[in-house]
A = this chain, B = another copy of it.
Amino acid sequence: MTTKRVVADLIVTGCGQLVTLAKSDGTPRVRSALKDLAIIADGALAVAGGRLISVGPRDVVLATTGTSAQTNHVDVGGAVVMPGLVDCHTHTVFADYRLDEYEWRVAGTPYAEIAARGGGIAKSVGHVRAASEAELLSRTRQRVHSAIRHGTTTIEIKSGYGLSLEHELKQLRVVRTLRDELPITVVATFLGAHAIPKEMAADREGYVQAVVHDMIPRVAAEGLAEFNDVFCEVGAFSREETERILRSGQRAGLKARIHADELTDTGGAELAASLGAVSADHLKKTNDNGIDRMAKAGVFGVLLPGTSFGLPSLELAPARKMVDAGMRLAIATDFNPGSSTSESMPMMTSIACSHMRLSPAEALSMATYNPAFVLGREGDVGSLEVGKRADFLVLDCRDYREVANHFGINPVARVFVAGREWVAA
């Protein structure tokens, strides 16, 4: 005899594949564990107070879950049900896409010339500085709503198009407003060190000082970010500057992340390992030593397939080598107005499978369970396990592999956040 305990607000049945991603030891998935999605056939789940109270085979869930007249029953008719997607690297607070630059780029214009024409990050900084906080909020809200429709229920958003105390704070306040108004989990990252702003070109040390002495303390004091990120790259910030900025953030309580080895191997991966950074992201040019160091240090590698897709070269991070080395890995959109113009996490899994040669299961692990660790939300989201938030997706298919295989479309039919169905206002 089973005692019926908590009364459920919601019971979902008919999950042809209930992709739970449960893992008994609660550690990140690496190597072969990436392929184990802990799928339950004919599964069900029960929710109370926004949290999962039961996840398992239909009969077990029904037998052990209490119901009342208020319990909402949803039968999804054999569809795939999976955790909400966790997008752990985005630049969603921007004003406009850089469409002129897109045309130049596909025509083969070298990046140096695009930069000389005022393109690149500098262009987006101009747009963001010119926009009011209300305008930025309105545009960012639309984009986050679209991300939710595509299954994202946890999203990280960086600043980095302000590049001054005033405009970096403006971007981070937009993130805070969305965090407060939306039911999904929104996590903020300060990226004041995204580029040296034009007006400081002759005084880069002055800008680094401003980041360290003005911006980081203010961001930390106002609680506007949990993470501190630096674009460590030739033409952006040196390894030494990156280290100073990240250490100063760590002292202020901001966890470190790095845009590393995207265009050149600057030793960003090794730096991430030596600093105890949470992640190093991009990693297209990372060498074997960097991979080894990150694997040993347990630093997450965040792969950004959309950035590769957006450039004709389609240069990709060596994902298979990283999996084989036992690195902790996640996939994110890098959604931004220039190099990765997509908020769709399902699209990222498609690129990751077709071109980084990940399996659909590996890609889903890297899009749900693992990035929850990157954001420090592993106790809360990323898998369907009792006690976690009831963030889940009902897909328009009966085999999870379609998420990656059926590309360029939105496979998400319904989105539930903390047990309530998401319907945009």
Contact in complex: A344, B102 (CB < 8 Å): no
Q: Pick the residue among B342, B355, B405 that contacts A102 (CB under 8 A).
A: B405
Judged by a CB distance under 8 angstroms, whether A122 is at the interface is: no
User: Beyond A99-B399, A314-B314, is A357–B405 a contact (Cβ under 8 Å)?
Assistant: no
- Would you call B401 and A103 a contact (CB within 8 A)? yes
Decide: A354 near B402, CB < 8 A? Known: A343-B409, A408-B344, A410-B409: no
Q: Taking each of A311, A358, A402, A410, which has the highest tally of chain B beta carbons within 10 Å of its own beta carbon?
A: A410
Q: Let me know if A97 is at the binding interface, CB within 8 A.
A: yes
Q: How far is the CA of A103 from the CA of B35 in the complex (A)?
A: 12
Cβ of A106 within 8 Å of any chain B Cβ, yes or no, is yes
Does A250 touch B at the CB level, under 8 Å? no
CA distance A357 to B401 in the complex (A): 30
Q: How far apart are the CA atoms of A387 and B402 in the complex, in Å?
A: 41
The verdict on A342 contacting B106 (CB below 8 Å), with A311-B354, A314-B355 known, is no
The distance in angstroms between the C-alpha atoms of A120 and B374, with both chains bound, is 39
* B102–A407 touching, CB < 8 Å: no
Chain B CB within 8 A of A341 CB: yes
Q: Which residues of B contact A99 (CB under 8 A)?
A: 360, 399, 401-402, 405
Residues of chain B lying within 8 A (CB to CB) of residue A310: 354, 407
Complex Cα distance A312/B314, Å?
Answer: 11
A343 CB contacts on chain B under 8 angstroms: 409
- Copies of this chain, how many? 2
- Measured CB to CB, the nearest residue on chain B to A105 is B354
A108 interfacial by beta-carbon distance below 8 Å: yes
CA–CA, A312 and B351, complex, Å: 9
What is the distance, in angstroms, from A127's C-beta to the closest C-beta of chain B?
14
A350 to B407, CA, bound (A): 12
CB-nearest residue of chain B to A408: B347
Interface status of A353 (Cβ within 8 A of chain B): yes
A309 within 8 A of B: yes
Q: Complex: how many Å from CA A399 to CA B99?
A: 9
Residues of the B chain whose Cβ atoms lie less than 8 Å from the Cβ of A406? 97, 341-342
A407 lies within 8 A of B103 (CB): no
In the assembled complex, the CB of A356 is this many whole angstroms from the nearest CB of chain B, namely 9
A150 is an interface residue with CB less than 8 A from chain B: yes
Is A266 interfacial (CB 8 A cutoff)? no
The verdict on A359 contacting chain B, using a C-beta distance below 8 Å, is yes
**Which B-chain residue is minimally distant from A409 (CB atoms)?**
B344
A355 CA to B354 CA in the complex, in Å?
Answer: 15
Residue of B355, B359, B399 touching A107 (CB-CB under 8 A): B359
Q: How many whole Å from A347's CB to the nearest CB in chain B?
A: 3
Closest to A344 in B: B408
A67 within 8 A of B: no
Nearest-CB residue, chain B, relative to A149: B409
Chain A window 263-302, contacts with chain B (Cβ cutoff 8 Å), 1 for yes, 0 for no? 0000000000000000000000000000000000000000
- What are 17 sample pairs from A and B whose C-beta atoms fall under 8 A apart? A97-B399, A97-B405, A97-B406, A99-B402, A102-B404, A102-B405, A106-B357, A106-B359, A146-B409, A306-B408, A310-B354, A311-B354, A342-B407, A342-B408, A343-B409, A344-B408, A409-B410
Other A-B pairs beyond A103-B359, A410-B410, 7, CB < 8 Å:
A102-B360, A106-B359, A106-B360, A108-B357, A311-B354, A407-B408, A408-B408
Which residues of A are in contact with B by a Cβ distance under 8 Å? 97, 99, 102-103, 106-108, 146, 150, 306, 309-312, 314, 341-344, 346-348, 350, 353-355, 357-360, 399, 401-402, 404-410
In the A-B complex, list the 6 residue pairs whose CB atoms are closest, starting with the nearest.
A347-B408, A344-B408, A342-B408, A99-B401, A102-B405, A106-B353
